[in-house]
Structure 1
C-alpha cells in the first residue's frame, strides 16, 4: 500500500484483517441440499401440527438452509423467546428449536376461541397456560422433525433444556458454525411467525455419509411423486375420438350433381379404426350396446402413444 493510501474495508492502518481459511464455515457441505429436501416434507408435517392448535389452515414456507456462526445468530435474537434444546441421536451433539414468544401467545388465544391476531402483552416469562401449550407444541414439532429424518437416521429426540434467554443455551461456541433451517408460518391473515431448527455443523458431519447415501433415493422419490401427479393430471385431459365407417369415392362430376334425396351406396367393413388427434390407436367392430351404436375394441395399435 502506498504512503497515505487509506486502508480498505478488510484492513486497519495498512494491516490485513486475519481470516481463518481452514474454518468449517467456509467449506461447502453436501448435507445442505439433502436437508432442504427434508424441509420440504417437514413443512407439510408442520402444517398438520399447527392447524389444530391455531384453529386455522396455516401457510408454511421453508427457506433455504444457511450456515452461520452461532454467535452471530445469537446476537440477532430477541431478549425473550422460546428455545428448546434436544439431543437427536445418533446425530452427535444437540439441536435447537426456536419459536417466537408472540406466536405462542397467539396460539393460546386461538386455541381457546380467540382470533389469534392480537398477541398478549407480556413480561419476561410465559404464563402457566402458555407453558403447557408450548411443551405440547415443541414436542409435536420435534416429533415431526424426527419423522422427516426417519429415512436418513432413526432419530430419537430427547429434551435437554428449555430456556427463554438465548445466553443460557449451550448449543455451540459463538465462533462455531451452525446450519439454520427457518420456516415462515402464516396461520392468520396478516400475521407471520418463524420457527427455526439449528444443527451444529459438527453434528451434521457425523451423519453426512447417511445423508449423502440417501440423496439419490430422495431424487428418485421426488421424480416418482412428480410423475404420479403428472399422470393424474394428464388422465383428466379430454380428447376427441372418432371412427370412420366408410370412405366412398365419387367422381367430381357426380359430386357436382348431388341433390337432396340422392343415395350414395357404401359398404361397411367388419373392422374400423378408432382415431384420436389424427392417429389410429385401435381397431374395432361396429355393433350395438344398450340400444346405442358402439365400437368394440378388437386390437390396440402398438406405439399408439408414441410421439
Structure 2
C-alpha cells in the first residue's frame, strides 16, 4: 500500500473485527456470513479534484455550443451541472434499456471514460440536420438507423475532441474509441461498487426541455492525475481572484470625478449684487497658490499659469491627507 493512501473507518473496523475473530480462519459465535470488502479502496477519501472537473465543465459549455450548432442548425443553450461521485452500479440502474454509450480510452488516465447521449436527442439532431425543425420521434426506437449511426459517430468524436482540448490545460490526453453500445449492461467502464465522477450537460437547441449529455470518469482513473487537477483548481482560484482585483482596479481607475480650483473669493453686499450690470468690474486679489478641490476636499495647492495656450494649474504641494484616505 502506498504511503499516501489511508484506510477508511470501515476498513479499520473490518481489520479489528478480523483480529477479534482470530484471523481469516477464526470462528466467532456472533459471526455472520462473509462479505467481500476492498481494502485500501477509495471509500474513505474525498475527491479533491471535483472542483477542477467543474471548471472543465464550464469550459466545455462554449465548445459544446460550437459542436452541436452545425448539427442542430440552431444556436443551442448549454448548461453544466456540478460534478457528482456515485457508484457505477447505481448510475447504471437508472439508465433506460436503449441509450447511446461511447467508450473511449483517455490516456494517460487508466481504463476508459464513458460518453452518454440520449437517443431521442440523436433523432432530433438528424431531423434538424436534414431540414426539419428538430421534432421528437413519435415512437421510441430500439435501435439507431444508419443515418443516426453516422451522425452519432461524428457527434461523439466532436464532443470527445472538444473534451480533449479542455483537458490539455491539465494534462495532454489521447482519446481513442474503444467501442459503442446501446445496452448499458455491456458498458464495461467500472465495477458496480466502484465510484465514478459524472459531469452532466443540459443541451437545448430548440424550445422545450433540454437533453442530457454525460461524461463518466472512473474515480480510480482520476486518482492518477488528481494532483494536477487539484493544483490547477487552486491556481485558477488564485488567478481569478487576482484577475478580479485587477479588473476592479482598472474599472475604478476609469471613474470620472470633478476637480475644481478657486482663484479668488470676492465678497459683495446684497445691494451691490442686485446692481450688477454688464461691464462692471469686481476687484479681486489673487493668492500665489490656489487650492485644487475634489469632492469638497482640498487635495493640493498649485500656481496658475499657461500651457499650450490654455490656462493651467501647476501642482506645487500635495496635502498631507490624500484624497480617499
TM-score range with shorter-chain normalisation? Answer: 0.7 to 0.9
Please point out which of 248, 257, 281 is paired with 2:265: 248
Structure 2 CA distance for aligned equivalents of residues 37 and 299 of structure 1: 52
1:103 matched residue in structure 2: 121
Structure 2 CA distance for aligned equivalents of residues 143 and 86 of structure 1: 11
Structure 2 CA distance for aligned equivalents of residues 119 and 225 of structure 1: 47
Name the SS of the counterpart of 1:188 in structure 2. coil
User: Equivalences for 1:243-282 in 2 at 5 Å?
Assistant: 243-250=260-267, 254-255=269-270, 257-259=272-274, 260-261=276-277, 263-266=281-284, 277-278=295-296
Structure 2 CA distance for aligned equivalents of residues 300 and 142 of structure 1: 64
Report the TM-score when normalising by structure 2. 0.74
Name the SS of the counterpart of 2:205 in structure 1. strand
Structure 2 CA distance for aligned equivalents of residues 58 and 270 of structure 1: 68
Structure 1 CA distance for aligned equivalents of residues 142 and 270 of structure 2: 95
State the Cα deviation string for residues 92-151 of structure 1 (Å, max 9, x = none): 110001111111111222222322243464421212222222111111111111111112
Shift in Å at residue 225 of structure 1? 4.5
Please tell me whether residue 219 in structure 1 is matched to residue 231 in structure 2: no
Please tell me whether residue 192 in structure 1 is matched to residue 210 in structure 2: yes
Report the TM-score when normalising by structure 1. 0.78
Say whether the 8 Å CA contact 1:274–1:284 is kept in structure 2: no
Say whether the 8 Å CA contact 1:117–1:191 is kept in structure 2: no
Structure 1 CA distance for aligned equivalents of residues 317 and 166 of structure 2: 44
State the Cα deviation string for residues 181-228 of structure 1 (Å, max 9, x = none): 111122222131111110001001111122223233221332344346
Please tell me whether residue 174 in structure 1 is matched to residue 189 in structure 2: no
Structure 1 CA distance for aligned equivalents of residues 146 and 155 of structure 2: 14
Larger strand proportion of the pair: 1
State the Cα deviation string for residues 217-249 of structure 1 (Å, max 9, x = none): 221332344346546765775x34242252314
1:56 matched residue in structure 2: 74
Q: Between Structure 1 and Structure 2, whose CA radius of gyration is higher?
A: 2
Root-mean-square deviation (CA), in Å?
3.7
Residues 92 and 295 of structure 1: CA distance in aligned 2, closer, same or farther (over 3 Å): farther
Say whether the 8 Å CA contact 2:202–2:212 is kept in structure 1: yes
Residues 111 and 280 of structure 1: CA distance in aligned 2, closer, same or farther (over 3 Å): farther
Q: Structure 2, unaligned stretches of length 5 or more?
A: 1-31
Say whether the 8 Å CA contact 1:69–1:177 is kept in structure 2: yes
1:3 matched residue in structure 2: none
State the Cα deviation string for residues 11-41 of structure 1 (Å, max 9, x = none): xxxx9xx896965244212111121122111
2:175 matched residue in structure 1: 157
1:5 matched residue in structure 2: none
Name the SS of the counterpart of 2:47 in structure 1. coil
Q: Give the count of matched residue pairs.
A: 288
2:59 matched residue in structure 1: 41
2:84 matched residue in structure 1: 66
Q: Structure 1, unaligned stretches of length 5 or more?
A: 1-14
